[in-house]
Amino acid sequence: MSVNMSVRQFRHQDMVGNVARALAAASLDPEHLDLEITESILLEEQSVINTLHELDGMGVEISIDDFGTGYSSLSYLKRLPIDTLKIDRSFVQNIPHDADDAAIAQAILAMARSLDIVVVAEGVETIEQLVFLRHHGCNAMQGNYFSEPLPADELVVLLRNTGQFPLPRTKSMLS
């Protein structure tokens, strides 16, 4: 389960306790919780960084959402417990036709791979984007290519009926 978190929530005095209580109330193992933060959180005071380390120590996953759109230093990627980078859709939408966007996506993928960080591409809408990202080692993708946004009750029905999300396949993807 992924949850977007704000800077304000990370400043809360008992953030780690709140997360622990929510996990217990939901009977959810910490490794099944992914807290999505923006790069701006990384520019905050040391207490926020300490909270990230405490959450990581509990086994909670930490993702940076909309990666590439903020102003943080790349040095944080090696010092903080970051499990996943989510490439912002603004870099995905013109792949593979825009050489600059393609180069940025490739650089993020190469850097993350060398740091052993998972990469999720946001906003995948075409087979060309999917093939490009897969070819360059993207771990996961999300976007309208796979499914339009669904209300929770329809998602539950879909998963019960199929056991998985519908993943479109084409001959060009399989080669």
CA angle 21, 25, 31 (to 5 degrees): 75
Query: What digits encode the pLDDT tens for the residues 42-91?
Result: 766 677 788 889 999 999 999 988 887 776 667 778 788 899 999 999 99
Closest CA to 92 of 65, 66, 123: 123
pLDDT of residue 100: 94
Calpha distance 7→65 (Å, rounded)? 13
pLDDT of residue 8: 80
Comparing 2-6, 75-79, 102-106, which segment has the lowest mean pLDDT? 75-79
The end-to-end CA distance of the chain, in Å, is 32
Backbone angles phi, psi at 127, to 5 degrees: -65, -35
Question: What are the structure tokens assigned to 3, written together?
Answer: 């949850």
Question: What are the structure tokens assigned to 53, written together?
Answer: 């380390």
Q: Which CATH number fits domain 2-174: 3.30.1330.10, 3.40.50.300, 3.20.20.450, 3.40.1190.20?
A: 3.20.20.450
**What is the mean pLDDT of the segment spanning 127-136?**
95
Local structure of 16: helix, strand or coil: helix
pTM for the complete prediction?
A: 0.78
Question: What are the structure tokens assigned to 32, written together?
Answer: 């099944």
